[in-house]
Amino acid sequence: MNIFALIKRTFDTEEKIVVSGGKIQEDGAEFIINPYDEYAIEEAIQVRDAAGGKVTVVSIGGEDAEKQLRTALAMGADEAVLINTEDDLDELDQNAAAYILAEYLKDKDADLILSGNVAIDGGSGQVGPRVADLLGINYVTTITKLEIDGTSAKIVRDIEGDSEVIETSLPLLVTAQQGLNEPRYPSLPGIMKAKKKPLAELELDDLDIDEDDVEVKVETVDIFLPAQKAAGRVLEGELSAQVKELVNLLHTEAKVV
Amino acid sequence: MSKKVLVLGEVREGSLRNVSFEAIAAAKQIADGGEVVGVLLGDAVAGLTGPLFEYGADRVVTVEHPHLKQYTSDGYGQALLAVIEEEKPAGIVFGHTANGKDLSPKIASKLQAGLVSDVTSMEGTGDDVVFIRPIYSGKAFEKVKVKDGIVLASVRPNNIAPLEKVAGKSGDITSLTVDITNLRTIIKEVVRKSSEGVDLSEAKVVVAGGRGVKSEDGFEPLKELADLLGGAVGASRGACDAEYCDYSLQIGQTGKVVTPDLYIAAGISGAIQHLAGMSNSKVIVAINKDPEANIFKVADYGIVGDLFEVVPLLIEEFKALKVNA
């Protein structure tokens, strides 16, 4: 089975966001594998261990993303590919990212492609389905269970808390939802082995992509922080009096009930 | 310049979801005086067009086919693309729901178009529309423009105000026949796990419990309060991990993102992952025994106390308020 996991390097969840000049400041921030992509990597490894084959993790980004790819290799992926667009492109949107990934994947005969259902930084959730569409393969989003038997797949898809049981077939792209599995931590031997596993770095030239073919369709014109909320009011006094006051405030001041 | 804009209406359990009406309001702003066309796909949707008109659609196109009984990206994709081919819109607005999130990127890819996902507000009209959307789990916002071509957007439920309802308003309905073939996915079963009644992501009031709820039974007073206020019950990851409730109730970075008018957090410490799912709620009430709990930092009103004392008192007070109202 030829398995690919598409991953993204993102800000650590705990990082404070600093905006300056309409841009997010990255200096000194910690970066991680997008948490939803960890589910994708884990599932890819589990499918390979059950059915045999190879897991390739792929990321678009700058050289810094090597660290996250090494982590995926340490978890158990076999190979990694970094599509480095740093020198070629100033900007990237979902249309462009999907195009580049699909150009990379189109002659790879992928049986299964996995990604997170959304990245916690940009939060668009578009790239997975767009890649599947460009490759002309089927996709299922926000999955919480995947069973593969030969070329057929049985999937549970989360739909806002309810779930759908879906039958489909390979080749297939799925996007991972929380609950799909418990991603493993890289083991020490895993980390040692990862250092020797292949990590290829490709540029657009290597994929025969002309910069002009990479179409960016949306542009971010500004980034800003949410308005600071005025400090909240912690009520005081007898508990029953506090509750009375709260209900009164919600009714007359906040006007939400 | 005025534009024609489509809105994909979404039906849940036999009626249109509120987010579809919010999407119409967004479409009006993009249309800038142009026509807003509601689109309904399903096996029997002809009887559901009324509310789309009442909330501002100028026209409605329906596609009915047995293969559209349940959502699949293939089936809905083929039907919507056929409508797009027929209508040639300059914009399309989706709800940022499970199915909207699934379908909109496919349509965007087919049209090689820009799609702005998870929009919470908008500025300007027509060609000058700027979409505002949360990034970094709501810790920041970005303003986004579609550079050129057809404008696609999905709107987060409960954020864009629907237009005022005009009761009895109607308009032209076109029924389009589409051949729907080659569905590569088959839905074998739908398992309903979420609570009956109010949909968590669209609820105006959410009463959420955390580890402080202590047990499955501990959620009962929260349910009673939510029912009383016409709201829905939610939970923190801690409460779900402890098996006090189903993961379908989880609010947070993993889980649902909610923006109700009133969010009552009971026994929730306020981990940053939880705040990512609720911090944009309009009014937040925190009830926690620990005065140092992080949740008080985002709360508009806080009560330091045991939720099992506070919630029953709240129920009594809200009941009294209802009687007096």
Give the sign of the dihedral formed by CA A9, CA A15, CA A20, CA A22: positive
Cα A42 to Cα A114, A180, B14, distances in angstroms:
10, 9, 38
| pLDDT reported for residue B194 | 60
Cis peptide before B157 (omega within 30 of 0): no
Rounded to the nearest angstrom, the minimum Cα separation between A102 and chain B is: 11
Mean pLDDT (chain B) is 94
Q: How far is A24 from chain B (nearest CA, A)?
A: 9
Contact B194 A162 (CB under 8 A): yes
- Which residues of chain A make contact with B114, given a CB cutoff of 8 A? 93, 95, 217-218
The mean pLDDT of A92-120, rounded to a whole number, is: 97
- In the three-class reduction of DSSP (H, G, I as helix; E, B as strand; rest coil), residue B92 is classed as strand
Q: How confident is the model at residue B197 (pLDDT cuts 50, 70, 90)?
A: low
CA B159/CA B234 separation, integer angstroms = 18
Record the tokens describing residue A51, joined without a space: 């059915």
pLDDT of residue A191: 97
Comparing A98 with A163, the larger pLDDT belongs to A98
**Torsion-angle region of B67 (φ positive above 0: left; ψ -120 to 50: alpha; else: beta):** alpha
Q: How far apart are alpha carbons A141 and B152 in whole angstroms?
A: 19
Q: Which residues contact B178 (CB under 8 A, 6 or more apart)?
A: B63, B65, B78, B79, B82, B83
Q: Do B297 and A232 touch (CB under 8 A)?
A: yes
> Residue B196: is its pLDDT beyond 70?
no
Query: Is B195 a residue whose pLDDT tops 60?
Result: no
Average pLDDT over residues B169-186: 93
pLDDT value for B1:
75
Is-contact A61 A37, C-beta < 8 A? no
Average pLDDT, chain A: 95
Per-residue pLDDT, A16: 86
Residue of A36, A125, A224 with shortest CB distance to B141 = A224
* Contacts (Cβ under 8 Å, ≥6 apart) of A192: none
Sequence-ordered list of residues with C-beta below 8 angstroms from that of B123, at least 6 positions apart, any chain: B129, B130, B132, B143
Contact present, A203 and A85 (Cβ < 8 Å): yes
Residue A13 has pLDDT above 80, yes or no: no
Structure confidence by residue, pLDDT tens digits, B71-112: 999 999 999 999 999 999 999 999 999 999 999 999 999 999
pLDDT digits (tens, 9 = 90+) for A154-185: 999 998 878 899 999 999 999 999 889 999 99
Task: Please say whether the beta carbons of A229 and A235 come within 8 A.
Answer: no
Q: CB A126 to CB B104 under 8 A?
A: yes
Average pLDDT of A210-216? 91
Q: Shortest Cα distance from A164 to chain B (angstroms)? A: 4
- Judging contacts by C-beta atoms under 8 Å, the chain A residues touching residue B134 are 123
Name which residue leads in pLDDT, A254 or B60.
Answer: B60
Q: What is the pTM of this model?
A: 0.91
- What 3-state class would DSSP assign to A68? helix
Of residues A120, A169, A234, nearest to B184 (C-beta): A169
CB contact under 8 A, B303 and A234: yes
Q: Does A227 touch chain B (CB under 8 A)?
A: no
What is the maximal distance between C-alpha atoms in chain A? Answer: 72
Reported as a single tens digit per residue, the pLDDT across A214-244 is 999 999 999 999 887 777 899 999 999 999 9
Which residue in this structure is represented by tokens 């057929």?
A152
Burial of B21 (0-12, 13-18, 19+ CB in 10 A): buried
